[in-house]
Structure 1
Amino acid sequence: MQLKEYIDYLVQWLQQEVKKANQKGVIVGISGGIDSAVVAAIAKKAFPNDYLTVWMPCNSSDLDEKCKLELIEKFDLKNVSVDLSKTFNVLSDSLNDSGIKQSKIALANSKARLRMTTLYSMAQTHNYLVLGTDNADEWHIGYFTKFGDGGVDLLPIVHLLKREVREAAKILGVPQSIINRAPTASLWEDQTDESEIGFSYDLIDDYISGKSVDKAVKDRVDYLHKISEHKRIGAPIPKNIR
């Protein structure tokens, strides 16, 4: 299936899934990144009158803000803003006041979980489903926060490689500044996905699409996939006592 045709399929798929859930529309958090931009554009195509995008800054960068504004303007998106910076700072202080100093990554993941809570409050208010923005690479290696950006109802772009997300963005008309931006979860200042993962999305694309890659890349991707399995499945349960 060609990518343009697949985007049309995703629009219909979202409509069907929302109808099955007896809901009215969809909601998606936007970050200024390419994945959420693509999902937001598809969401509006699927539900022109029943969608909402939510900008949830949490000590976010000026570049996040700039790209978010360009996205909203380009697609004339319905958007609300909920600044979570103060909420996060209070939570962070309370956690550290417990006497257990929180790790950098644990606090960063708390930002994603605050955003999840915000989206679900908005979604329940509107009778909407929450759309995730994880692509195939992120899903495969577990590069998402459990019960954070991984806590969603539907994952429309989960089968798209990162290079396919970039191509989908071009087809949909996402601003070039967002397409060209270095992928980042904005977990902390100057953080990028690829510096944290250890290699490029292009290499992950190649490996999970069956192309030949260096053994070091294969081993690392396999390792990340294995240890993140718990993120992709529901909580395991023991055998029944009866």
Structure 2
Amino acid sequence: MKTEKVIDYIVNWLKDYATNANMKGFVIGISGGIDSAVTSTLCAKTGLEVLCLEMPIHQAENQVSRALNHIEWLKSNYKNVSSEQVNLTPVFDSLVKAFPTVENEEDRFMALANTRARLRMTSLYYFAALEKYLVAGTGNKVEDFGVGFYTKYGDGGVDLSPIADLLKTEVYKIAAELGVNQDIQKAAPTDGLWGDNRTDEDQIGASYPELEWAMKMAENGKKATDFEGREKIVFETYTRLNRANQHKMQPIPVCTIPNELKK
């Protein structure tokens, strides 16, 4: 990958899109992870206004510290960057208390994890509306179009997706070129929705390089029967998630009424 040219291409794409939409800049949620660090830096390089939001909800301390360190690094290098810390923990706790209890606690945990992402999306759009900003998405290609590892109308609710055509390994190359803090580059990827240190690999059952391999194999028409051992497990994991999460990747289905029924 021609890393420098890819960076320039994305930065110009971001700037052109915002200018043509008559928007002042971008707002982005900073999680302490590699994707939001890269996306926010690319936005900052446009020279347009960038608002970084850090929105903890019972967040692990190391995630918060990485996010705040990155924001300070951005602000020290780009004068067009500002920030706000919005503590959503009490909002989340109040919402949990308002919900009825359920029998299956595991289902409740998953629903509440996604609720965290949706509270953050709501906050991003609040500031976007106030300041005439675009909400910049942080999803990469494997998450957005491979396994659907994001929350529908949560971190999937954005105005534009600058790194959604980059594989996770390519995002790391961009991060290295941009000089993103080493603590972020070395941290294990996590969605930060559980209040602990579980990683994306813990949840998915495969690493991003493995998922990228499986994505390529699927695009080449391979099937699970073509593999054995770990490769077969990874491929089956990828295809299962890809199939289950098509509802996130496809347009919302519309019930089209036949013309004869409207007459």
TM-score by length of structure 2 reads 0.86
1:191 and 2:183 aligned: no
Give the number of aligned pairs.
241
- Taking the aligned partners of 2:100 and 2:57, their CA distance within structure 1 comes to 18
- Taking the aligned partners of 1:169 and 1:117, their CA distance within structure 2 comes to 27
Identity, in percent, stands at 39
1:200 and 2:207 aligned: yes
Letter in 1 for 2:62: L
Post-superposition offset of 1:155: 0.7
- Taking the aligned partners of 2:120 and 2:53, their CA distance within structure 1 comes to 9
- Taking the aligned partners of 2:125 and 2:178, their CA distance within structure 1 comes to 26
C-alpha contact (below 8 Å) 2:128/2:135 kept by paired residues? yes
Match of 1:155 among 150, 156, 161: 161
Superimposed CA distance per residue, residues 44-93 of structure 1 (whole angstroms, 9 cap, x where no aligned partner): 001x3411111101111110121012202222141111110000000111
C-alpha contact (below 8 Å) 2:26/2:135 kept by paired residues? yes
Structure 1: gaps (5+ residues): none
2:39 aligns to what SS in structure 1? helix
Moved more, 34-43 or 200-209: 200-209
- Taking the aligned partners of 1:198 and 1:220, their CA distance within structure 2 comes to 7
Letter in 1 for 2:241: L
Post-superposition offset of 1:20: 2.9
- Taking the aligned partners of 2:257 and 2:7, their CA distance within structure 1 comes to 43
> In the alignment, which residue of structure 1 is the partner of 2:4?
4
- Taking the aligned partners of 2:246 and 2:151, their CA distance within structure 1 comes to 13
Matches within 5 A, 1:11-160: 11-46=11-46, 48-76=47-75, 77-96=81-100, 103-139=108-144, 140-160=146-166
- Taking the aligned partners of 1:20 and 1:223, their CA distance within structure 2 comes to 39
Query: In the superposition, relative to structure 1, how do residues 49 and 155 fare at CA in structure 2: closer, same or farther (>3 Å)?
Result: closer
- Taking the aligned partners of 2:235 and 2:103, their CA distance within structure 1 comes to 40
Query: In the superposition, relative to structure 1, how do residues 219 and 74 fare at CA in structure 2: closer, same or farther (>3 Å)?
Result: same
Post-superposition offset of 1:233: 2.5
Letter in 2 for 1:221: Y
Structure 2: gaps (5+ residues): 76-80
- Taking the aligned partners of 1:31 and 1:80, their CA distance within structure 2 comes to 13
Letter in 2 for 1:29: G
Moved more, 123-132 or 223-232: 223-232
Superimposed CA distance per residue, residues 182-201 of structure 1 (whole angstroms, 9 cap, x where no aligned partner): 11111221221100000111
- Taking the aligned partners of 2:152 and 2:15, their CA distance within structure 1 comes to 26
4+ residue runs of structure 1 moved beyond 4 angstroms? 97-102, 210-213
1:103 aligns to what SS in structure 2? helix
C-alpha contact (below 8 Å) 2:135/2:160 kept by paired residues? yes
Letter in 1 for 2:187: R
Letter in 2 for 1:135: N
2:100 aligns to what SS in structure 1? helix
- Taking the aligned partners of 2:53 and 2:241, their CA distance within structure 1 comes to 30
TM-score by length of structure 1 reads 0.93
RMSD after superposition? 1.9
Letter in 1 for 2:27: I
C-alpha contact (below 8 Å) 2:24/2:48 kept by paired residues? no
Superimposed CA distance per residue, residues 14-49 of structure 1 (whole angstroms, 9 cap, x where no aligned partner): 112212322221111001111100001001001x34
Moved more, 30-39 or 92-101: 92-101
Post-superposition offset of 1:10: 0.4
Moved more, 198-207 or 212-221: 212-221
> In the alignment, which residue of structure 2 is the partner of 1:226?
243
